[in-house]
Amino acid sequence: MQVQEQSWRQSNVTDLKSVEAAVAVYDATSEEIRSQLSSNDPEALAVITERRRLDNEAKRWREKLYAQANNLKSLQAQSNALTSEVQALETAKMTASSKIACLEEKKTSITQAEHASNQTSSDLATLRELISHHTNLKLQESEFKSKCQEELIQLQKQVQDLTESQDKRLNKLDEKYKVLAAKRDQLKQELAVEVRGVLSTLRLIDDIPCKIELIQYEKRFMELYDEVALTLEETRKYFSFYNTLETTHEYLEKEVALIDSINANFEIALSSNAATDVFFNQMQQVIANIQTNVFKQQSLCQSKQLDIDTLDSKYQLLLEKQQEYVAAIRDFQKECEKNEKLQAHLV
């Protein structure tokens, strides 16, 4: 549309330029004719004729100029109308796009609701059966009530029509009425039991978490388990560090006591050869005890390291099993989604 408008404008501008050129030629010719009239009178008739022709031609070009100007105005009006129409179409396009987005969101929410409703299809089927059974019991109760009312009316009529000689029969009828009333009460009690069962089933259905809630519970339990494991590991580190410091403190105290004993007995041991031999024998025993303790600690350290290696290997196996479990859960969820889609297609 803009290209057509530009071409129309260019054509109109060209026509206007040609008209202006013709007017300029007319003015130049008129000046020339006036000069010729003033200088050469015998050629006045031809000049007048030429002037009339030029006047007519100028008039024709002016009319064409006015027509082109009017055409230009109409084309500009059409251009403005088309521009406003394009803007209206753009606005309508944006409105339609927003409506399409809203419809897509509604479609997504409906799809999610359908997936959520398919999860409780079996429960809903059971609920429908219970409701239908409840409705049948209500219908039976109403029919039984109407039947009892009819029988009561008939019995009352019979009682009014009967004489005193028929008291036994009336008693039997009263007993029958009591039996029927007891049956009615029993049916009411059974109906109340069924209603309570339906209500308890409804509560159980409401208490059953959906798939999204189960996933949230699982994530929360995993986070809680990780936090507890981290706290337990930190606590074990603190206890281990405390025990190490406590053991180091005990050995340092023993070392200080041994050094004090050596310092106290060193001068006494050097006073005689016998005391020196006794002193060196005691030192050898102390060294032997220290080496024994060192050997015990090294063996204990090796056993701890062996336990650590064993636990590490078990941990790696558990990690592999966990990965297999996660993969199995993922496959199971995919199969559940496929099953839900197939059930939705079947429904």
Write down which residue in 60, 88, 116 finishes a domain: 116
Q: Give the pLDDT confidence score for residue 2 in this predicted structure.
A: 41
The pLDDT value recorded for residue 180 is: 85
128 in the same domain as 189: yes
Q: Which two tokens stand for residue 235?
A: 């606590």
Same domain, 132 and 200: yes
Give the pLDDT confidence score for residue 124 in this predicted structure. Answer: 67
Question: Quick check: is 243 in a domain?
Answer: no
What parts of the chain have a pLDDT lower than 50?
Answer: 1-13, 37-40
Output the pLDDT for position 46. 66
- Looking at the structure, tell me whether residues 94 and 18 fall in a common domain: yes
CATH assignment at residue 19: 1.10.287
Task: Say if residues 64 and 15 touch (Cβ distance below 8 Å).
Answer: yes
| Kind and range of the H or E run holding 196 | helix 167-207
153 with 68, same domain?
no
DSSP type of residue 43 = G
| Domains of the chain: total | 3
Q: Alpha carbon 37 to chain centroid distance?
A: 98
Please, is 19 exposed, middle or buried when counting C-beta atoms within 10 Å of its C-beta (0-12, 13-18, 19+)?
buried
pLDDT mean across residues, the chain: 76
Q: Are 346 and 121 in contact (CB under 8 A)?
A: no
What would the pLDDT profile of 209-225 be if each residue is shown by its tens digit? 777 888 888 889 999 99
Q: What is the model's pLDDT at position 119?
A: 55
Specify whether 48 is located in the same domain as 127: no
11-48 pLDDT, tens digit each: 444 555 555 565 565 566 555 555 554 444 555 566 66
Residues with Cβ within 8 Å of 126's Cβ and at least 6 positions away in sequence, in order, are 201
Structure token pair of residue 136: 């049948």
Sign of the CA dihedral with 245 first, then 250, 255, and 257 last: positive
Determine, yes or no, domain membership for 259: no
What is the pLDDT, as a whole number, of residue 163? 63
Q: Are residues 274 and 307 in the same domain?
A: yes
pTM of the shown model: 0.33
Tell me the residue range of the domain where 333 lies: 270-346
Q: Are residues 127 and 110 in the same domain?
A: no
Instruction: Examine residue 253 and state whether it is found in any structural domain, yes or no.
Output: no
